[in-house]
Structure 1
């Protein structure tokens, strides 16, 4: 079974002040250093147990790809160590070292042997690799004529021709058409059911939350936070709006849920309540029931423009629906210091049976990335049950009729 243990991992590159400094360092008899180390990763520690799926997220330049390269051994760490057990398959970059002048079939034979397959195994697996990649006659064409999506199809097909104990995937899966992305993730999910350990880097919030058991956030080369995918993604979302006087914190609510709160604090969420048709607070509603989300806001400072929005998320933290007063053309302007406002968002809960949370955002413009006064995740929890409508599956209820035609 596959496991990964990363201990005190760090990577530094040498920075030389001039082009001659490197040569001088080599020949200096005093062994004096003529460079300064530039750390791109430092003090990274985590482990992935057998059969577990770990997601890695972070902004560009946070060190995600460098970390994966050190884990698979294509880059050596400056400090620390990586220990892995089981057979490893890694898909870090498009092409996986494919030679552009060789055909897809020839590259499969070469790349497959680098992954540990024998020639006989590759010959036996070739029909399955061809069928999964679905590149047709291009399998016998030089790789230089392939699109990036075709390279990804073939590379993924080779890397996953046999179920590995550990599967490591960088953002290569973000290339290509939606059909093959779904097909690839279906294979990954099937491997997970069979016990494969997964380490995946992706900007796709839904993919991380749907596949992974845990997630880690890299920021400026350090492990910023580790935990359940929803909590880590909430923290990452808050970091994207980081500005001067902007804070990001996490608090544990009375129910035990971890709530991420970010913003400048110039306006704050005072109260959020879900109301039924009679105006009474409710925690359980029925499918298709008309409800009102009441949000009370207090302006700590004078606010020239205020947009209030809400987002409903399912139990996995994936967005079901969201809107705000900017899109509803109800922007509030020229609010005084200390002023309170109350907004009622009225809607019909055409959502599926399950548990949901509500996030509330106070900002300017169409999103919180410009001026984030306050963003609160999990400010409200509620459940949906089916009491009146016909049985259905899924996250949304669509009123449906059917006609039979001769």
Structure 2
């Protein structure tokens, strides 16, 4: 089993004011440095334990790709060190190392040897690589005629032909079609069940939360926060909103979870409850039970157009269902400071047994990226139990009518 230890890692590049400055620095060293250091990554430290899956997130330019290159050894650090134990397979830049004039098969042999496989091993694994990539006759065509998705299929297939101790995956998987993305993530999950350590870079919230045990947020080249995937992804979204002149709060709940609240504060959820069919507040409900989500919103400023949305998430933070009053064509117009509005969303809770949370968003359109008056994660937590239904698997109650006929 593999592990990754990153200690005080940093990467800086020299920036010269003019081309001649580089020559002067080389010819006249006694005059001192002629450059300034541009730090891309600084003071990053973390540990990935054997068998653990860690997601790495951050906006473009945060230093994620540079960090992966330092970890895999394709770039040397300016400060700090990386220690890895076990065999490593890395899928960084799409088709990195592929030669456009060579066929897919020839590139598989080259890429496989770079990963430490012998020619005999690659030959033995070639049928499985071909079958998983599913590029057909293109395997013997030059890579220059491949689409980006086909390159990703072949690159992923050869990188994962053997189960590595450590698998490092950049955002290359986002290029492929939906079918191959599902297929790839299923292979990653199989590796995880077998003990592979995973470091995954993705902007896909569902991928991070469904696959990873922990998430790390990079911001401006530094480690900004790490923790449970749901908490870090919500903090990441709130941080983006914060840069749109919003406020950002972190509140510790009684259950130990961290609630993230962001927004301008021009409106806020003053009360939220789940009601049964008698209008009583409940925290535990039955599968399929008729309930009403009641949300009271208090306006602190005049708001021309107010929209309330909610998202029901499972215990891993994966979205079960979400909607808002913009999508339902029921926005509230001309809201005045001091006004309060009560929103009631009635539905049958066709959810599987488990614990769920509700996130709320008060905005002006369908997204919090325009006017984020308030985004409140973990606004409500409730539990679903199965008291009356036949046993079933999954997060949704989609009971079928079954017909069987004999031919």
Q: TM-score, normalised by structure 2?
A: 0.96
- Structure 2 runs not aligned, ≥5 long: none
SS at match of 2:19: coil
Q: Is the 8 A contact 1:241 1:370 kept in 2?
A: no
1:19 Cα offset (Å): 2.5
* 1:207-356 alignment, distance < 5 Å: 207-356=207-356
SS at match of 1:372: coil
Instruction: Choose 188-197 or 274-283, whichever is displaced more.
Output: 188-197
Cα distance in 2 for partners of 1:137, 1:324 equals 48
Cα distance in 1 for partners of 2:40, 2:288 equals 51
Partner of 2:170: 170
1:31 Cα offset (Å): 4.7
Instruction: Choose 149-158 or 337-346, whichever is displaced more.
Output: 337-346
Q: Is 1:386–2:386 an aligned residue pair?
A: yes
Partner of 1:397: 397
- Structure 1 runs not aligned, ≥5 long: none
Instruction: Choose 19-28 or 174-183, whichever is displaced more.
Output: 19-28
Q: Is 1:159–2:165 an aligned residue pair?
A: no
1:169 Cα offset (Å): 0.5
Cα distance in 2 for partners of 1:20, 1:82 equals 35
1:331 Cα offset (Å): 1.2
Instruction: Choose 93-102 or 21-30, whichever is displaced more.
Output: 21-30
Partner of 2:100: 100
1:107 Cα offset (Å): 1.1
Cα distance in 2 for partners of 1:134, 1:245 equals 47
Q: Is 1:122–2:122 an aligned residue pair?
A: yes
* 1:194-213 alignment, distance < 5 Å: 194-213=194-213
1:391 Cα offset (Å): 3.5
SS at match of 1:237: helix
Cα distance in 2 for partners of 1:64, 1:55 equals 11
Cα distance in 2 for partners of 1:275, 1:313 equals 18
Cα distance in 2 for partners of 1:146, 1:243 equals 39
Cα distance in 2 for partners of 1:330, 1:135 equals 48
Cα distance in 1 for partners of 2:40, 2:390 equals 55
1:387 Cα offset (Å): 2.7
1:98 Cα offset (Å): 0.8
Cα distance in 2 for partners of 1:160, 1:403 equals 42
Partner of 2:132: 132
SS at match of 1:106: helix
Partner of 2:86: 86
SS at match of 1:55: strand
Deviations 1:367-386 (A, max 9, x none): 11111111111111111122
Q: TM-score, normalised by structure 1?
A: 0.97
Instruction: Choose 23-32 or 94-103, whichever is displaced more.
Output: 23-32
1:235 Cα offset (Å): 0.6
1:214 Cα offset (Å): 0.3
Cα distance in 1 for partners of 2:349, 2:400 equals 16
SS at match of 1:150: helix
Cα distance in 2 for partners of 1:400, 1:129 equals 38
Partner of 2:365: 365
1:243 Cα offset (Å): 3.9
Q: Is the 8 A contact 1:2 1:165 kept in 2?
A: yes
Cα distance in 2 for partners of 1:165, 1:304 equals 56
Moved over 6 A (4+): none
Partner of 2:375: 375
Partner of 1:70: 70
Partner of 2:181: 181
- RMSD of the TM alignment (CA)? 1.4
Deviations 1:347-401 (A, max 9, x none): 1212222110001111111111111111111111111122333433222223432
Deviations 1:147-189 (A, max 9, x none): 1111111111111111111110101111111111111111111
Partner of 2:9: 9
1:141 Cα offset (Å): 1.3
1:288 Cα offset (Å): 1.7
Q: Is the 8 A contact 1:88 1:164 kept in 2?
A: yes
Partner of 2:51: 51
Instruction: Choose 45-54 or 23-32, whichever is displaced more.
Output: 23-32
1:57 Cα offset (Å): 0.7
Instruction: Choose 249-258 or 363-372, whichever is displaced more.
Output: 249-258
Cα distance in 1 for partners of 2:117, 2:6 equals 27
1:301 Cα offset (Å): 2.0
SS at match of 1:30: helix
